[in-house]
Amino acid sequence: MKPLVDFYLTNMKIAVMEQFQHRAQNYFYLTARIVEPVIYLVVWTTIARQQGGAIGGYTVGGLTAYYIVWTLVRQMNIGRTPYDWEHTLQDGWFASHLMWPVSVLHHDLSYFGGWKFVQILFWLPVAAILTLVFRPNIHPTGWQVAAFFVAIWAAYFIRQMILTFMGLISFWTTRVTAIFDLVFALELILSGRLVPMTFMPAWVQQLAFWMPFQWTFYFPIQALVGNLAPASLLSGLGMQLLWAVAGWLAVKAFWNLSVRRFTAVGN
């Protein structure tokens, strides 16, 4: 266990140092990710004002807080995409990955985990500007702040498992872009990424509750901006733990099956 912990700490440190060498690139990357929620924010706050100041249980200030926190949760959820898995396999780069002393899964979790610290640091001034411009209404309790801290890291782990599981499909076929796009479309609708889940019909909310997507977006955001009681926060963290364990077991099992099919190809 100690060697694995040392590897995580070292790889996270490497990620931090590498990303600080590309500060401009990271800010451009962050800016591109901020555009999406700002558009949602402007659209839905405008609709809320037209509806008398509230919609779907959210006031204008509440919606503003939701989408500003959304920007941080989105940064936390970034990991190796299935498209990158497809590229790595088709170009034969995966052969070198198999020679690493630790699994690619541990490398990805630790590297992107270290990158989060850089992303959070760069996000802070952007969040300050958004707060000054849009005036969110957010007053979290100590329970909420603590739950949010745990929830965003759990969300990162769960989404990394989802992305990795989809990426492993690349071992079984040469073109899986359509499958990826379908899953991402489902995520957009069922995660709270497009709109808060209270905007959705009741049957969609019930379906989303039993799928992993909302535990990577909606719950972490609600943990900070919603009026969730401590019992509800613990229940949500319990669901995240369930999906984290299920995701890890599914990826490990699928990994063993998929790697056996690998054949080094490339240009």
Other Cβ atoms closer than 10 A to 93: 13
pLDDT at 219: 96
User: What residue spans define the domains of the chain?
Assistant: 2-259
**Residue range 237-258, pLDDT digits in tens:** 999 999 999 999 999 999 888 8
Distance CA 128, CA 20 (A): 21
Q: With contact defined as beta carbons under 8 Å apart, do 143 and 233 qualify?
A: yes
Distance CA 149, CA 77 (A): 13
Q: With contact defined as beta carbons under 8 Å apart, do 86 and 256 qualify?
A: no
Q: Which amino acid is at 93?
A: W
- Burial environment of residue 248 by CB neighbours within 10 A (0 to 12, 13 to 18, 19 or more): middle
**pLDDT surpassing 70 at residue 267:** no
**Residue range 186-215, pLDDT digits in tens:** 999 999 988 999 999 999 999 999 999 999
pLDDT at 265: 55
pLDDT at 264: 63
Tokens encoding 233: 């926060």
List, as own/partner pairs, every contact residues 139-142 make where C-beta atoms lie below 8 angstroms and the sequence separation is at least 24, other chains included.
Answer: 140/224, 140/225
Q: With contact defined as beta carbons under 8 Å apart, do 56 and 199 qualify?
A: yes
pLDDT band (50, 70, 90) for residue 262: confident
Distance CA 197, CA 125 (A): 28
Distance CA 197, CA 215 (A): 11
**Residue range 52-108, pLDDT digits in tens:** 888 888 999 999 999 999 999 988 998 888 888 888 877 777 777 777 778 888 989
**Residue range 120-170, pLDDT digits in tens:** 888 898 899 999 999 898 888 989 999 999 999 999 999 999 999 988 888
Distance of alpha carbon 157 from its chain centroid, rounded? 8
**Residue range 23-55, pLDDT digits in tens:** 777 777 777 778 888 888 899 899 989 988 888
Other Cβ atoms closer than 10 A to 250: 15
pLDDT at 32: 75
pLDDT at 89: 77
As a whole-number percent, the residues of the chain with pLDDT over 70 amount to 98
Q: Which amino acid is at 97?
A: H
